[in-house]
Structure 1
Amino acid sequence: MSTMALKSQADGLFRRKRLVAFGLPALIVVYLAYIVFAFDIPGLAERARMDNARALVADSYSYKTHVTRDNRSGDVSIAIEGERKGAYADGTAPAWVTLGDQTVIDLEDGHVVRFAETGVSYDVPGFGLITAEPGPRGVQTNLDPENVPDWINLSKNRMTITTDAGRVTVTRNRTEVFRYFAGWELFFFTLDSPYHGHGAGEILFGPRIDPARGNIAGALHDFWHNAMWRHAEVAWAMFETVLMAFLGTMGAAIVALPLAFLAARNFAPLGALRFAVRRVFDFVRGVDGLIWTIILARAFGPGPMTGALAILFTDTGSFGKMFSEALENVDRKQIEGLQSTGARPLQRYRFGVIPQITPVLLSQVLYYLESNTRSATIIGAITGGGIGLLLTQAMITQKDWEEVSYYIVLILLMVMLMDWLSGKLRQRLIAGGR
């Protein structure tokens, strides 16, 4: 080949490399630019409500105590998170609320709200006194509707004041004040429990608090049956989630193993049979688990068993494919050695094949068990079972976002536990470690 030809060939190679080096990044930039406009990223940024985001974040690690007055009857009620299960008894209130002819709510740092006979006043440091008079014609205030700060939302029938100290909402029928506190209040005991407000030291080593029960037994009972946080229901939901994952994964492994022999080339010489079984595997694993969940929920109704069946259907196809590939790679010498001793086909499979593929089987099954523990959370939200249902209900209401945080923490702990447990089992069963 001449020198000119070699030079031309080298130039062509360098041009292709330059095209790839510059063209591929340019193509990625064009694609990202297309995504920005196709998914309306600028519009999404404009529609983002950062105030709502801050409220949700605050709700995840804190709680609100509501002080509510019925503007028609004048009755004042106080409840944590506004729930009846967290309501203070009539005539009782936290230390920062003074009941009487005029209810005074001290939000600290100079923020004071007063419920007068008919009106409401809020003394905001650095701004002044805001008054509101709810009535049949709406909410009358001393504010200029054309000149209100951003932290006040004012309309004819509603006024909302949001400050760092709390929030005040006044409508025709109701006036509500709530104040944030850090922590998950009533997580251990509700207000009606005699153990509320007592520390662990008092319960474990102090005198008997409830004359009818021992401290430890009574505290455990009240904690387990906490009406606000429902620890007993949550524990059962966690058990249902793990049970769905376990039944679905193990059931899929049991169904897939014998079918895998029919899909393996060295165990099923009939090509038509192998083709049919493999297409069944492709079908059941090709349909996503959530789709199977919807179909089976329509056929069998909601419940944890439906979720387990959905996992079983999807994993049967995955296990069948992996098990058949493992069977095709077994060492024939062990099988031939057993055959020479007069072993029957089932005995050859049991003692010559299964021991070879057991590490692969156990490794895949335990990995899928760990993965399905996460999937069972989403599946449970659709089938009406497990911790996924409780998580979905808490997210839909958006009333107690700290419950969402609680469930997410439990799900993370459950997944971490399953990860650790599956690792230990793999080490013990496959590697023979301790």
Structure 2
Amino acid sequence: MTLAADMPMDGLKTRAEALFRRKRMVAIALPLVLLAYLVYALFAFNVPALLQGASLENGATLIRDSYSYKTHVTRDNRSGEVTFAIEGERKGEYAPGTHPDWVTVAGDDTITDLGGGHLVHYRAEGVSYEIPGYGTVSAQPGNGGVNATFPDGDLPEWINASKNRVTITTDAGRVTITRNRTEVFRYSLGWELFFFTLDSPYHGMGPGELLSHALSGEAGAIWHDFWNNAMWRHGDVAWALVETVLMAFLGTFGAAIVALPLAFLAARNFAPLMAVRFTFRRIFDFLRGTDALIWTIVLSRAFGPGPMTGALAILLTDTGSFGKMFSEALENVDGKQIEGVQSTGAKPLLRYRFGVIPQVTPVLLSQVLYFFESNTRSATIIGAITGGGIGLMLTQAMITQKDWEEVTYFIILVILLVFVMDWFSGWLRRKLIGGER
């Protein structure tokens, strides 16, 4: 006779109702606990103050800088000299007597056409900006300040004015006026000078013209000017990517080589002494419990900056991770294969070589390749600390806060590198482990 037959129907009903009540309480309590935590985090991390201090204008400027470039038209208010440069850098400065085609130089009057009727005049007596739908802003920079004059009425939000500085930001561009200097920023789509700088004879040539010059025996010169581009530093970037992969490779496979023999001393079926197993397991816990970034900081203080320091940091952390995973794989090996090798009279070292290693190789190799792929991403961050790889160049570009198209370029390269390493590690796993016929 079953329990349900022995128990009265009222008792079953009571137990079922109690069970459903508990489940309902849990279903209601979990979202409430999550909501309470989110409310706590909202105030604990001072999110309202962060949102209040956020600048949407700066964010929009950074986003626009990521896919466009600025040409600076700069006037020294003391000497009256006007210069033209891509991103305001000397490496992108126009040669004397040359300027963009949207700039007109007529004696002492330099006219910058920002498009849509926006005109900026540099004259001997001062600066003026003609803004369609608003009027003309004029200034006479000097020792007394900017001395700006605006159309009647309240200043719009896109004008920031003080005694010594005036900044006007419109859809056409940006104008900054100080006592010593006036700058016009004109935005254009694309990454200017990505292939060739202004001093290269191949700047401005189309693909067909470049191909014609290459077939005429100038292929080496074309490649030289591209590879040694002073603005984008393609050669340096390529070597930085190689350094990043080398850091990940040396750290990952070095850790695998160190961890494999130590894993035998942490496996229960290969190290019968509990004290030995306990010691090596705690060593693995210590190594993997300390993040690679912490090891990077410690090692950089001890050995100085450099890619090798980053590789050692990855090696230490991964030695702990591999030691734990390898020892667990060794504990799950099939003892019959070991006994079969032992029956041939093989010594312990040969028993491990032919009875153990072939069993765990697919698992170990899969783990090592996965960590190699993951460490390629980690090496970018580690390189920013140790001073090596693409991470250092990315950090330097972000610190300047002016060439965000260069930051975008580096980020795209890192993403492509991760894609390539993901594909390569997957292909190598299938080839070596035998998952692909």
TM-score by length of 2: 0.96
Instruction: Write the letter of the residue equivalent to 1:200.
Output: P
Instruction: State the aligned residue count.
Output: 430
CA distance in 1, matches of 2:149, 2:407: 39
Instruction: Write the letter of the residue equivalent to 1:17.
Output: K
User: How far did 1:86 drift?
Assistant: 0.2
Q: Does 1:275 align with 2:278?
A: yes
Q: Does 1:240 align with 2:246?
A: no
Q: Which residue of 1 aligns with 2:180?
A: 173
Q: 1:279 to 1:76 in 2, by over 3 A?
A: same
Q: Which residue of 1 aligns with 2:430?
A: 427
Q: Which residue of 2 aligns with 1:252?
A: 255
Instruction: Write the letter of the residue equivalent to 1:93.
Output: H
User: How far did 1:144 drift?
Assistant: 6.5
Tell me the C-alpha RMSD between the 2 structures. Answer: 1.5
CA distance in 1, matches of 2:277, 2:148: 80
Deviation per CA, 1:361-402: give whole Å up to 9, x if none: 110000000000000000000000000000000001111011
User: How far did 1:40 drift?
Assistant: 2.2
Deviation per CA, 1:64-97: give whole Å up to 9, x if none: 0000000001111000000000000111101011
Instruction: Write the letter of the residue equivalent to 1:428.
Output: K
User: How far did 1:27 drift?
Assistant: 1.6
Q: Which residue of 1 aligns with 2:415?
A: 412
CA distance in 2, matches of 1:12, 1:164: 66
Q: 1:360 aligns with which of 354, 360, 363?
A: 363
User: How far did 1:207 drift?
Assistant: 8.5
Deviation per CA, 1:302-347: give whole Å up to 9, x if none: 0000000000000000000000000000011111011111011111
Report matched runs for 1:260-271 at 5 Å. 260-271=263-274
Q: 1:23 to 1:207 in 2, by over 3 A?
A: closer
Q: 2:405 aligns with which of 384, 387, 402?
A: 402
Report matched runs for 1:283-322 at 5 Å. 283-322=286-325
Q: Does 1:227 align with 2:216?
A: no
User: How far did 1:21 drift?
Assistant: 1.7
Q: 2:83 aligns with which of 77, 81, 86?
A: 77
Q: 2:68 aligns with which of 62, 69, 90?
A: 62
CA distance in 2, matches of 1:396, 1:46: 23
Q: Is the 8 A contact 1:118 1:134 kept in 2?
A: no
Q: Which residue of 1 aligns with 2:382?
A: 379
Deviation per CA, 1:89-143: give whole Å up to 9, x if none: 1111010111232111111111111101030011111111111110110011222
Q: Secondary structure at the match of 2:141?
A: strand
Deviation per CA, 1:254-286: give whole Å up to 9, x if none: 000000000001111111000000000000000
Q: Is the 8 A contact 2:167 2:176 kept in 1?
A: yes
Q: Does 1:27 align with 2:33?
A: yes
CA distance in 2, matches of 1:218, 1:207: 8
CA distance in 2, matches of 1:200, 1:344: 67
Q: Secondary structure at the match of 1:72?
A: coil
Q: Does 1:369 align with 2:372?
A: yes
Q: 1:39 aligns with which of 22, 45, 49?
A: 45
CA distance in 1, matches of 2:358, 2:311: 28
Instruction: Write the letter of the residue equivalent to 2:26.
Output: V
Q: Which residue of 1 aligns with 2:4?
A: none
Q: Which residue of 1 aligns with 2:166?
A: 159
User: How far did 1:14 drift?
Assistant: 2.2
CA distance in 2, matches of 1:310, 1:130: 57
Q: 2:147 aligns with which of 140, 148, 155?
A: 140
Report sequence identity in percent: 70
Q: 1:410 to 1:207 in 2, by over 3 A?
A: closer
User: How far did 1:417 drift?
Assistant: 0.3
| Unpaired stretches in structure 2, ≥5 consecutive residues | 1-6
Q: Is the 8 A contact 1:289 1:314 kept in 2?
A: yes
Q: Secondary structure at the match of 1:135?
A: coil
| The 10-residue stretch of structure 1 (364-373 or 98-107) with the greater mean CA deviation from structure 2 | 98-107
Q: Is the 8 A contact 2:146 2:165 kept in 1?
A: yes
Q: Does 1:92 align with 2:98?
A: yes
Q: Does 1:200 align with 2:207?
A: yes
Q: Is the 8 A contact 2:173 2:184 kept in 1?
A: yes
Q: Is the 8 A contact 2:65 2:404 kept in 1?
A: yes
Q: Is the 8 A contact 2:136 2:150 kept in 1?
A: no
Q: Does 1:15 align with 2:21?
A: yes
User: How far did 1:4 drift?
Assistant: 4.6
Instruction: Write the letter of the residue equivalent to 1:36.
Output: L
CA distance in 1, matches of 2:306, 2:214: 46
Q: Is the 8 A contact 2:196 2:225 kept in 1?
A: yes
Q: 1:331 aligns with which of 320, 329, 334?
A: 334
Q: Is the 8 A contact 1:381 1:388 kept in 2?
A: yes
CA distance in 1, matches of 2:135, 2:295: 61
Q: Secondary structure at the match of 1:138?
A: coil
Q: Is the 8 A contact 2:166 2:178 kept in 1?
A: yes
Q: Secondary structure at the match of 1:227?
A: coil
Q: 2:353 aligns with which of 334, 350, 372?
A: 350
User: How far did 1:145 drift?
Assistant: 9.3
CA distance in 2, matches of 1:144, 1:8: 81
Q: Is the 8 A contact 2:114 2:172 kept in 1?
A: yes
Q: Is the 8 A contact 2:370 2:425 kept in 1?
A: yes
CA distance in 2, matches of 1:3, 1:98: 97
Q: Secondary structure at the match of 2:120?
A: strand
Instruction: Write the letter of the residue equivalent to 2:304.
Output: G
User: How far did 1:206 drift?
Assistant: 4.7
User: How far did 1:179 drift?
Assistant: 0.3
Q: Which residue of 1 aligns with 2:3?
A: none
| The 10-residue stretch of structure 1 (282-291 or 98-107) with the greater mean CA deviation from structure 2 | 98-107
